[in-house]
Chains A and B, each alone.
Chain A
Amino acid sequence: MLKLENLSKSYGKGEIKAVDNISLEVRPGEIFGFLGPNGAGKTTTIKMIVGLLRPDNGRIYLDNIDVWEDPLKAKSKISFVPDTPQVYDKLKGIEYLNFIADIYGIPADLRQERIEKYLDIFQLRHAIGDIIGSYSHGMRQKLVLISALINDPKLFILDEPMVGLDPKSSYNLKEIMREKCNEGKIVFFSTHVLEVAEKLCDRIAIINKGKIIALGTMDELRQHSKEKESLENIFLELTENE
């Protein structure tokens, strides 16, 4: 289970509260969507979970491991896909994947099986021997996705994962997210694409100005909203009222 407790983070001299005392729980087997307008605090929250930003206050637990108290143990269960696929552009694709597998200590036969599986799903096999510097944005995105799947993470956390992916890869990624969730893993992702969230997520949180303004399943969100049709309407209503 992923548990965020009273999480806060501010920038500057505490003037700008990027994340303001948020708490939530995500259960195993859940796809959790994290929605909000630009600058709402989505990426800041995600960065705190994966160890890129130290929270000012609050705690983050993954399976009762405090992410900031025992980072090595927690990180070995987490995989992160950032919003910009920045990777070592002088390495070859396969070298990068092997590097990641070495760090997670994945045995040779298992890594081969997983790498080959995802290379085929994302159709990247042809380029895997090339230097990453020669990849397009989408290809880098796929490489980062594959590298994040090598260790079969307990928590799969993605920041705007659909940006830059072609329709087929985007579809495949959604399938993989569903598959991970069926295996009892947690999938936590942020997105702007409301249809994706609406169709894919078991539960959704809407964050605005650092505060969670709505949390629940699609049905629960509908009940609290006047505009009961689409997530888009609920989203607009909630974020505009703030």
Chain B
Amino acid sequence: MNRIWALVKMDLRNSFRLSAFKEKIKNREDIVHIIIVIVALLSLLPTYYLLVSGLSNIYDIYLNIGQKSMFLLTGILLSQMIVLFFGILYVMSKYYFSSDLNILVPLPLRPKEIVGAKFVSLLVYEYITVLPILLPFIIIYGIKTDVNILYWLYSLATIFFVPIIPLCISSILVMFFMRYTNIGGRKDLLRTIGYIILIIVLIVFQLKLQSISQRAIVDEDFLYKLITDSTILVRSLGIVFPPSMWAALSLSNLSDISGLLYILLFVAVSILIFFIMLFLSDRVFFKGLIGNLEVSTSGKGAEVRLEDFQRSSLPYVAIAMKEIKMLIRTPVYLMNSIGGVIIVPIVMILPFFMGDQESINLLRNLLKNNQQLVNLIGVGFITLLGIVNNVCSTTFSREGKNMWIQRTLPIDPRDQIKGRILSSIIVQTVGIIVLYGSLAYLGALTLEGIFIIGILGILGSIPTGEIGMIVDAYRPLLHWDNPQRAMKQNLNVLISMGIGALYILGIGLLAYKLMDIINIFVIYIIIALIFILSSLILYRGLKKVIEMTLANLE
């Protein structure tokens, strides 16, 4: 245990750059920098406040149907699902692709000590992710319901244990996944496809459970049960993920012994799964890891043809191609960027895919009669993917230790912008194609839709990409030891998403207001003009930020 603790301390010190931070707060320029980041984060607060006040209304709805414990289940379930799904990538990157493995593996450490330490440091990240989601639920429930001190005590235990079970499940899934995909040759590709399938299977599994549990409660005496039993919804829907149900039931049954029993069950199972995960890690971790760190060579020397020496392109095309190659060949980047733009549109139509024929037909008719709206939402969706794909908002961070190359070469900032935006557009194109496929499945794809969504979607991806790039150029995260840190655990992604979402929301609102007043094609033209104009304005700002950062980094 001592060794795990020593590893955890080292890992946290390294991940959060605690030692460097102490130095930073002595320097005036760095303090200004930190203040600007705090201000940028504060700008996310209005959106957050809106969401939280929306939650308060949801509480009232559940209260009215006498099922206020459902409110707790929603929060806890949401937190645990987020940990489970995001956990898969976090775990894969932290356990298998971080550079400290080269140091840790040769040390006389047992696999479970390495995994245990990495698990605990990931847990710290998970608390940071989960707290802003779970706390509003717990606090709103606590304030609006007459609770005693026991509620807050149980809440503490709940918050502490909430990420443990899902993170253990992610760890176990990933360890077996890596164990059985650790087979020579194209394992990166195999793993990426496997990852996309794994995520879709997990979601399908969740949806199936949901529909089963929903069907189960809709019977004749459901209404009667609803009135007499204040936890019927939680106990029926909580089957989707029982641990969330236990936590919700413990917090809503404070007055009797079952509350205590449920929290004990929740804690005990969490601890048990943690030890099962450690036990399994001793057996499978190294089998997935060894050989993973090696990079295979072709042995006989990969063939280089004459054309390879003569391939010349413009600087910005060279930058774009370099970006795309790095994205495709680094599994974590690939899963986050291209994986994201493939998964998100598919996941959106999954519920319909699995629903009954009647509701699909209903939806198809609805979409057919609102073709313009479908196109507009499609454009908004693609534009939003321009941020969610993370390509631009981490483009400089991903350079990491290779940043010296970008800084010593004579690269015009304009080429930097064009090349990096181009790489994002290439990724976006994949997303657009998948969206076309999804819409076609729903019978909502028209020739006009193909053009509108394609053209406006790409035009809209430019300003959102530029927003992400401004944030990332302003404060690139260059010191990382595993690629996941550059991509997902990068605050720049969150800040870009916040600002980008406001931008899209603004344009969406404008389009909505104009819809009844002017012709839809005029609206398309207005949107296109806004995209182009904002691209040009952002371009100028971005150029300055890049020039400044590339010159002043130390």
For B298, the closest partner residue in chain A by CB is: A130
Are B302 and A72 interface neighbours, CB within 8 A? Answer: no
B326–chain A nearest beta-carbon distance, Å: 5
Q: Return the chain A residue nearest B406 by Cβ.
A: A103
Given the complex, which residues of B lie within 8 Å of A72, measured CB to CB? Answer: 410-412
* A51 interface neighbour in B314, B321, B551, Cβ under 8 Å: B551
Q: Does B516 lie at the interface of the complex (its beta carbon under 8 Å from any beta carbon of A)?
A: no
Give the residues in chain A near B519, CB-CB below 8 Å.
none
Q: Is A58 an interface residue, CB under 8 A from the partner?
A: no
Chain A positions 57-92 with a Cβ under 8 Å from a chain B Cβ: 68, 71-76, 78, 80, 82, 86-92
Could you say which residues of chain B place their CB within 8 Å of the CB of A80?
A: 408
Contact among A50, A87, A101 with B312 in the assembled complex (CB-CB below 8 Å): A101
Q: Contact at A134–B325, with CB atoms within 8 Å?
A: no
Query: Inside 8 A of A131's CB, which chain B residues have their CB?
Result: 295, 297, 329
Query: Could you tell me if A109 and B326 are in contact, using CB atoms closer than 8 angstroms?
Result: no
Residue of B312, B321, B407 ringed by the most chain A CB atoms within 10 A? B312
How many residues of chain B are within 8 Å of chain A by beta carbon? 43
Contacts of B409 on A, CB cut-off 8 Å?
75, 100, 103-104
Question: Which residues between 268 and 300 of chain B lie within 8 Å of chain A, taking CB atoms?
Answer: 295-298
Interchain nearest-CB distance for B295 vs A (Å): 4
Assess whether A127 is interfacial by the CB under 8 Å rule.
yes
Interface residues as binary, A11-45 with B (CB distance below 8 Å gives 1, 0 otherwise):
01100000000000000000000000000000000
| CB-contact partner of A103 in B301, B310, B315, under 8 A | B315
A72 to B318, CA, bound (A): 17
Question: Inside 8 A of B318's CB, which chain A residues have their CB?
Answer: 98-99, 102-103
* Interfacial chain A residues near B521, Cβ < 8 Å: none
CA A177 – CA B238 in complex, angstroms? 72
Which residues of the other chain, B, contact A109 by a CB distance below 8 angstroms? 310
Q: Whose C-beta in chain B lies nearest to the C-beta of A157?
A: B408
Task: Write the B49-92 contact mask toward A (1 if CB under 8 angstroms, else 0).
Answer: 00000000000000000000000000000000000000000000
A90 and B330 contact, CB distance less than 8 A = yes
Report the separation of the CA atoms of residues A116 and B309 in the bound assembly, to the nearest whole angstrom: 8
- CB atoms of A94 and B309 under 8 A apart: yes
The complex places the Cα of A95 from the Cα of B328 at a distance, in Å, of 14
Q: Does A226 contact B (CB under 8 A)?
A: no
Residues of chain A within 8 A (CB-CB) of B125 are none
Quick one: which of B297-345 are within 8 Å of A by CB?
Answer: 297-298, 301-304, 306, 308-315, 317-319, 321-322, 325-326, 329-330
For B402, list chain A residues within 8 Å (CB).
Answer: 86-88
A68 to B315, CA, bound (A): 22
Query: Are the C-beta atoms of B554 and A127 separated by less than 8 Å?
Result: no
What 0/1 readout, one digit per residue, does chain A (192-230) give for beta carbons within 8 Å of chain B? 000000000000000000000000000000000000000
- Which residues from B are CB-within-8-Å of A74? 410
**Chain B residues with CB below 8 A from A105, complex form:** 315
Interface residues of B in 398-457 (CB under 8 A from A): 401-402, 404-405, 407-412
Whether A91 lies near B322 (C-beta < 8 A) is yes
**Cα A66 to Cα B464 with chains together (Å):** 36
Kindly identify, within residues 115 to 147 of chain A, every residue whose CB is under 8 Å from any CB belonging to chain B: 115-116, 125-131, 133-134
Q: A75-B410, A128-B304 are in contact. Are A134 and B322 (CB under 8 A)?
A: no
Which chain B residues lie closer than 8 Å to A78 at the CB level? 408
Q: How far is the CA of A73 from the CA of B412 in the complex (A)?
A: 10
Given contacts A13-B27, A129-B301, A130-B297, A102 and B313 within 8 Å (CB-CB):
yes
Question: Which residues of A sit under 8 angstroms from B228, Cβ to Cβ?
Answer: none
Assuming the contacts A92-B302, A128-B304, asked whether A102 and B312 have C-beta atoms less than 8 A apart, the reply is yes
List 7 tightest A-B contacts by C-beta distance, closest first.
Answer: A129-B302, A102-B318, A75-B410, A133-B295, A90-B329, A112-B309, A76-B410
Q: List 17 A-B contacts (CB under 8 A).
A: A51-B407, A52-B408, A72-B410, A86-B402, A87-B405, A88-B326, A94-B309, A95-B322, A102-B317, A102-B318, A103-B318, A103-B319, A108-B309, A111-B310, A111-B312, A126-B301, A133-B295
